[in-house]
Structure 1
Amino acid sequence: MNRLPLFPLPETVVFPGLMIPLFIFEERYKQMVKDLLAQEEGQRRFVITLSEDSGIREVGGYVDLLAVQENPDGTFNIVCRGGERCRIEGAGAFDTLYQTTLDIPEPLLRSDPSSEAVAAWDAMDVFRSYVAGKADPKALEDAIASLPDDPLYQASFLCVNLQVSAADKQALLEAPSLVARLELAQALMRQSLTSGGSALA
């Protein structure tokens, strides 16, 4: 079974379509970037998972390396795009300076497209109330209108922009289905509205 580089990060949960800029300064991860650049384009993939005091979470997200800028001091600025989620198993440093994990997809359960569309519509409607007074209404509608039609990416937009803990975002990542992810996002927003909070992440 293939192995992929593993990059545990605090306060970071990856969702499909999410653009992630990273500053790479540790020697082991600078080596990771160099190893990824040695791969053909389209195969420069690694895994990000949430790192907590108790260890790393067992579900993370695939990440594709899109752009790299090497700095004079040998550090890197990189841009990545989040993909689907995966399971973290067999983590450890073997033939590399950095950890790797077995490549085990953990697909999100998809259901009837109309059910997903309704769940996305309802969640986005609550999101408008959630950010009321905190975001320019026209800019918000333009951002929503520019989202792909697939509710998967609409859910990612919501998850990224919720001002919740990393643990809550991890719960969104681990939701068993897309509808469940959208329903949990909606519940978190309603909870914030009930307590008087309303903000963008």
Structure 2
Amino acid sequence: MTNGGTLPVPWLTVTDRLPLFPLSSALFPGLVLPLNVFEERYRALVGDLTALPEDAPRRFGVVAIKRGQEISPTGQDGLDAGPLAGLGDDPMEALYGYGCVADAAGIAERDGGGYELVATGIQRFRLVSVDASGPYLTAEVEDVPDEAGQGAGALVTEVVRTFTAYQKRLAGARERSLSGQEFPDDPTVLSYLVAAAVIAGTDQKQQLLEATDAAARLTAELRLLRRETSIMDKLPSLPAVDLTQQPICAN
């Protein structure tokens, strides 16, 4: 994540249509997501992205799954599982209502099929409708602009202090390795960095993604960080955790 703030996305109109990639967790703007793609439906999605002109953006929507599973039993074998496999009959009920546009880079095709790629979160969106008539889901989406909100700047110092204490408590013996860590000054960028790094369930992460503005997100994060730090203070030492490492999502 950079310190330059969240930029507008001129290509995303009030309503636009995107290929949709449901995952078990939320993606935040500015964060990097490695993907290991092997299910037929998502191989088709990435194949269509690679077929675009070289100078065209390779973008798709990432949305967290509310009810269902990320990988279907059939899809584990690379077979055609259908666009709704693991999600039931109604994708609008199976998926959360807000997601994040992702920009794909470094797409590499593997021997025997499938792809490895790295996607970067760009901009939040709201789901308007989902189409399951093709080999993979597509969605009509609305751009959700990012705003700082009243008092966001004043929250930055306290969030950084509390988040640093949270990191140190998690890191345990590696506490010294966290000293001197730099954080972005932009409230929106900081709010997404903390949202991605904090250890929380999908529902809590989704609430942070859907916050009305950075001030509301930072306020919610302060409550969450203080609560979690208080709980950890009452528990035995925890093993070191690398908060900056993002897991590779296999569909």
TM-score after normalising by structure 2: 0.71
Q: What residue number does 1:85 align with?
A: 124
Higher relative contact order (Cα pairs below 8 Å, separated by 6+ residues): 2
SS of equivalent residue, structure 1 residue 58: strand
From 176, 179, 186, the counterpart of 2:212? 176
Instruction: Please tell me the residue identity of whatever aligns with 1:105.
Output: D
1:9 matched to 2:23: yes
Identity of aligned residues (%): 29
Mapped pair 1:27 → 2:66: no
Q: 1:29 and 1:160, CA in 2 relative to 1: closer, same or farther beyond 3 A?
A: same
Over 3 Å counting, the alpha-carbon distance change for 1:39 and 1:99 in structure 2 is same
**SS of residue matched to 2:61:** strand
CA distance in 2, matches of 1:25, 1:14: 20
The alignment status of 1:111 with 2:149, answered yes or no, reads yes
Per-residue deviation, 1:150 = 2.3
**Kept after mapping to 2: 8 A contact 1:14/1:83:** no
1:74 matched to 2:119: no
Q: 1:101 to 1:126 in 2, by over 3 A?
A: same
Bigger mean CA deviation after superposition, 115-124 or 42-51: 115-124
Look at both structures and tell me which one has the larger radius of gyration over its CA atoms.
2
Corresponding residue for residue 123 of structure 1? 159
Deviation at 1:194, TM superposition (A): 2.3
Q: Secondary structure at the match of 1:153?
A: helix
Cα contact 1:28–1:97 (8 A) shared by 2: yes
Unaligned runs of 5+ in 1: none
Query: Take 2:35 and 2:26, find their aligned partners in 1: how far apart are those partners?
Result: 13
Equivalent-residue separation in structure 2 for 1:141 and 1:19 (angstroms): 23
Number of aligned pairs?
Answer: 195
Which residue pairs with 1:43 in the alignment?
57
Structure 2 CA distance, aligned partners of 1:138 and 1:117?
28
Letter in 2 for 1:86: F
Using the TM superposition, give the Cα deviation of residue 14 of structure 1 relative to its aligned residue in structure 2, in angstroms.
1.1
In structure 2, how many angstroms separate the alpha carbons of the residues matched to 1:2 and 1:74?
A: 30
RMSD between aligned alpha carbons? 2.1
Q: 2:137 aligns with which of 89, 99, 112?
A: 99
Per-residue CA deviations over 1:31-72 (Å, capped at 9, x if unaligned) read 100111122445211101111226100100110001111110
Cα distance between partner residues in 2 of 1:21 and 1:125: 29
Q: Which SS does the other structure have where 2:44 is aligned?
A: helix
Matches within 5 A, 1:161-200: 161-196=197-232
Deviation, structure 1 residue 153: 1.8
- Which stretch of structure 1 is more off in the superposition, 85-94 or 127-136? 127-136
Measure the CA separation in 1 of the matches of 2:143 and 2:167: 33
Identify if the C-alpha distance between structure 1 residues 110 and 151 changes in structure 2 by more than 3 Å, giving closer, same or farther. Answer: closer
Gaps of 5+ in 2: 1-14, 68-92, 244-251
The 3-state SS of whatever aligns with 2:130 is coil
2:22, 2:179 → 1: CA distance?
A: 34
8 Å contact kept, 1:4–1:100: yes
How far does the alpha carbon of each residue in 1:123-163 deviate from its partner, in whole angstroms, 9 at most, with x for none?
A: 11101111224334454345x42x44422221122111111
SS in 2 for 1:89: strand
